[in-house]
A and B are shown apart, each in its own frame.
Chain A
Amino acid sequence: MKLLYFAWLRQKIGKAEETLEPPREVATVAALIDWLKTRGPGYVEALKNPKLVRVAVNREYVAADHRLTPSDEVALFPPVTGG
């Protein structure tokens, strides 16, 4: 699974992207976020406030209960501020 991080989430996690193989029981976006938080203090800091984390799977916004597949591109980022 390819993960992408943007803006201050990227800075707190310390990388823009990585390829990970979460355990099989990590089936949803919510479970993925919980699992990522076990990977180190940067992840905990970046993901501690769920209200400030937006998730896109394969470049479409999804909700926390969205189901994941191993070939997904999952992006985590803060609320957007373009325009």
Chain B
Amino acid sequence: MIRVQREDFDVGKELAALTRGKPSIGGITSFVGLVRDMAGGEKISGMTLEHYPGMTEKQLAEIEAEAHRRWQLDAVLIIHRHGPLKPGDRIVLVATASAHRDAAFDACRFLIDWLKTKAPFWKLEETDAGARWVDAKESDDDAARRWTED
């Protein structure tokens, strides 16, 4: 399941809803991304996340489908926020549920790595020196590439 929203989310409630009525699930792996208060040695007072409505949902749905092809998963949830955020705010939740932990751990890592390089979001950070767009990291590309090499 994919959700792109401005509003915050409650991790506990989301995980409970994800597994409700599915007793075959043996475990959940979740990743929660937060807004940091520092970047590149500078203090961050806030952040605005821009995205491409329509394409974001399409890309996330494709990434989710790919995870289902690769692993035996009982449930997947991706929630990604957009709009203005403050340090400490939740940005993203990725949760994977499976009968066994290996599939849940691997699929969760895969989803966040791929999301970072495919989902059309852009972070505008606010610092004391003004607003600046966050540069894409090569390390993110490397992390995503791991999943395409055998």
Q: A interface vs B, CB < 8 Å?
A: 4, 6-8, 56, 59-61, 75, 77-83
- Residue B91 CB within 8 A of the other chain: yes
Q: B interface vs A, CB < 8 Å?
A: 33, 49-52, 54-55, 58-59, 80, 91-92, 112, 115-124, 133-136, 140
Nearest residue, chain B, Cβ from A7 = B122
**C-alpha gap A77/B123 in the complex (Å):** 12
23 residue pairs of the A-B complex, CB under 8 angstroms, read A4-B52, A6-B122, A59-B52, A59-B55, A75-B52, A75-B55, A77-B120, A77-B122, A78-B122, A78-B136, A79-B135, A80-B116, A81-B121, A81-B133, A81-B134, A81-B135, A82-B49, A82-B92, A82-B121, A83-B33, A83-B115, A83-B119, A83-B121
